[in-house]
Amino acid sequence: MEEQMNAGGKLVRDRIPEIIRASGAEPISYRAEGAEYRSRLRDKLLEEVDEFLAADGEAAVEELADVLEVVYALAADLGTSKEALETTRATKAGERGTFSNRVIWTGVR
């Protein structure tokens, strides 16, 4: 049974209810729509970035993958694809560069 709980809960990956069922429990969940989904995605991005910042080594790589998954979901919600997002990223990189040279800006003279 799906039960709406607007005030509580958090956005989770699509297969989490299935994984919970496989463990013998019955998940209580619902599908977020519209503004709630956008808000929950933004909350999830903050959560995943915080987890990334607290992680080291391989755990940091896994958390970064979680950040990327949320970014892809945000892009889709904004009506763009992974490929279009990558094109936008590449265009900006061509115009302004990347972060690979580790340049720190301290002001102008």
DSSP letter, residue 15: T
Provide mean pLDDT across the span 59-68: 97
**Amino acid 4: pLDDT:** 46
**Amino acid 6: pLDDT:** 52
Radius of gyration of the chain measured on its C-alpha atoms: 18
**Amino acid 8: pLDDT:** 85
Convert the pLDDT of each residue in 6-54 to its tens digit.
Answer: 568 999 999 999 999 999 999 999 999 999 999 999 999 999 999 999 9
**Amino acid 109: pLDDT:** 95
Task: Answer yes or no: are the C-beta atoms of 37 and 73 closer than 8 Å.
Answer: no
Distance CA 103, CA 37 (A): 36
**Amino acid 5: pLDDT:** 46
Convert the pLDDT of each residue in 67-99 to its tens digit.
Answer: 999 999 999 999 999 999 999 999 999 999 999
Cα dist from 57 to 3, 19, 69, whole Å = 38, 27, 19
Looking at the predicted structure, is the pLDDT value of residue 1 above 90?
no
Cα dist from 28 to 4, 8, 33, whole Å = 8, 11, 17
